[in-house]
């Protein structure tokens, strides 16, 4: 395995693990901010930080397609995800993210960019069945919240498949900064229209949660993921998303006391078995430049 690929896999691993904290942090921050405004605040602050780091490469990242996909993902996807997190439990929200790799593989297959093997597809199906067992059962969850999480996962898959061509010959940190800014700009008027203004002062816990969501849950993992995604196939990048439910489900059970009965346990086991099978069965094809 060459050094660049090793670094890419390490970056994807770190991003997946850190992302696991975003669902519980969002759950706490949603006690202060409405779902749309949470997305705006998160990326409106994170984007300038990343832009400063990658300031010399910003001009090359300011392409219409880059901004359009940023508006979709950092705007629509995260908004739908926040609406889902607000309506379901932390454990459900985290584990339903396990549907993303199979959605990525299916999208890549439809677009003719697939490289997954048979064992990977078995893993995808196992993970998806596990998601079905988890969704809509147990805790302070709701079917609507679970479906919103699945919808955000489907849109995430489109973004993951499209992103390698957007990253080709561009700085991944600069691309992430531009996309986050586009998402915040697009969602701001929608948040103003549907959620208004006038949020009350946050508690210390809520303020810390938002700060953690911006710095630990946004600046670091999205930049790392973009770096890794530019160097591996879309299915490999998608498989690492499943590290998020591992951390998120643990946080839901330990911090939020989300109940975990036999159905959820079986579903979680299927998801994690699917992670292993899909990771082992991925092709090694590198993304092609645009």
Mean pLDDT of 250-263: 69
Q: Report pLDDT for 289.
A: 42
Please check the confidence at residue 91 and state whether its pLDDT lies above 80: no
The answer to whether 161 and 107 have CB atoms below 8 angstroms apart is yes
Which is more confident, 270 or 28?
A: 28
- In order of 4, 19, 53, 90, 139, the CA distances from 262 in angstroms are 42, 26, 46, 17, 13
To 10 degrees, what angle do helices 3-19 and 220-229 make? 150
Q: What mean pLDDT is reported for the chain?
A: 82
Secondary structure (H, E, C), 158-204? HHHHHHHHHHCCCCHHHHHHHHHHHHHHHHHHHHHHHHCCCCCCCCH
Greatest mean pLDDT among 22-36, 156-170, 178-192, 216-230 lies in: 178-192
Residue of higher predicted confidence among 207 and 13: 207
Residue 287 pLDDT level (bands cut at 50, 70, 90): very low
Q: Examine the pLDDT at 136 and tell me if it is beyond 60.
A: no
The answer to whether 179 and 70 have CB atoms below 8 angstroms apart is yes
Mean pLDDT of 223-249: 79
The share of the chain scoring above pLDDT 70, in percent, equals 82
Give the per-residue pLDDT at 284.
45
Buried b (16+ CB within 10 A) or exposed e, 156-169: bbbbbbbbbbbbee
Domain boundaries defined on the chain: 3-197+217-280
| Predicted local distance difference test score (pLDDT) of residue 150 | 86
Rounded to an integer, the average pLDDT of 207-234 is: 89
pLDDT at 143: 82
Please tell me what DSSP assigns to residue 216. Answer: I
Of the pLDDT bands very low, low, confident and very high (cuts 50, 70, 90), residue 45 is very high
pLDDT level of residue 290 (50, 70, 90 thresholds): very low
- Among 99-108, 157-166, 243-252, which stretch is predicted with the lowest mean pLDDT? 243-252
pLDDT at position 16, please?
Answer: 84
pLDDT band at 61 (very low <50, low <70, confident <90, very high): very high
List, in sequence order, the alpha helices (H) in the chain.
3-19, 22-29, 35-53, 58-61, 64-70, 78-87, 90-96, 100-110, 118-134, 143-167, 172-195, 204-214, 220-229, 234-239, 243-254, 262-280
pTM: 0.77
pLDDT score of 226 more than 50: yes
More confident position, 81 or 249:
81
Among 160-169, 190-199, 240-249, name the one with the lowest average pLDDT.
240-249
Q: What is the mean pLDDT of residues 112-136?
A: 70
């Amino acid at each position: 395995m060459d050094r660049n690929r090793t670094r890419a896999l390490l970056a994807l691993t770190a991003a997946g693990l850190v992302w696991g904290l975003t669902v519980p942090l969002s759950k706490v921050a949603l006690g202060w901010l409405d779902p749309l405004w949470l997305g705006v605040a998160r990326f409106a602050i994170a984007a300038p930080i990343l832009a400063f780091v990658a300031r010399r490469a910003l001009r090359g990242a300011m392409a219409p397609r880059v901004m359009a996909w940023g508006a979709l993902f950092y705007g629509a996807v995260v908004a739908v995800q926040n609406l889902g997190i607000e309506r379901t439990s932390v454990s459900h929200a985290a584990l339903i993210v396990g549907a993303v790799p199979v959605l990525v593989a299916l999208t890549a297959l439809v677009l003719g960019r697939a490289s997954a093997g048979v064992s990977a597809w078995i893993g995808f199906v196992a993970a998806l069945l596990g998601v079905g067992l988890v969704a809509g059962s147990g805790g302070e969850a709701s079917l609507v919240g679970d479906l919103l999480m699945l919808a955000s996962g489907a849109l995430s898959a489109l973004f993951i498949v499209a992103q390698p061509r957007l990253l080709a010959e561009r700085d991944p940190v600069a691309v992430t900064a531009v996309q986050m800014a586009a998402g915040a700009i697009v969602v701001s008027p929608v948040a103003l229209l549907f959620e208004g203004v006038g949020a009350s002062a946050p508690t210390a816990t809520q303020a810390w949660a938002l700060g953690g969501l911006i710095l630990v849950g946004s600046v670091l993992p999205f930049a790392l993921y973009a770096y890794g995604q530019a160097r591996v196939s879309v299915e490999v990048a998608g498989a690492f998303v499943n590290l998020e439910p591992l951390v998120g489900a643990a946080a839901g059970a330990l911090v939020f006391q989300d109940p975990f009965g036999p159905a959820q346990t079986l579903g979680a086991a299927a998801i994690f078995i699917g992670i292993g099978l899909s990771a082992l069965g991925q092709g090694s094809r590198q993304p092609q430049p645009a």
